[in-house]
Amino acid sequence: MNIQNTGKRKRQPTHPGEMLREDFMPDYNMNVSSPAEALGVSRQTINEVLRERRAISPSMALRLSRFFGNSPEFWLNAQHAVDLWQAERAHSKELSSIHPLAKA
């Protein structure tokens, strides 16, 4: 069974750093130092995530999920969506030259 995904997303998915910056930190009245200390990482690491200059690693996803009480998959899925969107844009020319297999 082949499910076609023909719809192209026009807008970049939300980066997990934006979610952290806009949704999580204000709700808990946090600054950069708070999660850095609680997660056992540097302020620079948190700052780079918040500025969307660093991806969420599996280790960071585990830390964030433990801290905020959600799943590591939540963080990794958000990062995965951003990574795929960026890769598709970066390699669109090469991808357009690949033709799908014909049905058997």
Give, for all 104 residues of the chain, the pLDDT tens digit.
566 665 677 899 999 999 999 999 999 999 999 999 999 999 999 999 999 999 999 999 999 999 999 999 999 999 999 999 999 999 999 999 999 998 87
What's the CATH code, domain 16-96?
1.10.260.40
Instruction: Spell out the domain ranges in the chain.
Output: 16-96
d(CA 92, CA 40): 38
Task: Determine the pLDDT at residue 1.
Answer: 56
**Cα distance between the two ends of the chain:** 11
Phi, psi angles (nearest 5°) of residue 2: -120, 120
Task: Determine the pLDDT at residue 7.
Answer: 65
Tokens of 94: 């090469």
CA distances from 9 to 25, 79, 81, 100, 102 (A): 28, 15, 10, 20, 25
DSSP state of 103: P
CA distances from 43 to 19, 25, 33, 46 (A): 17, 14, 6, 5
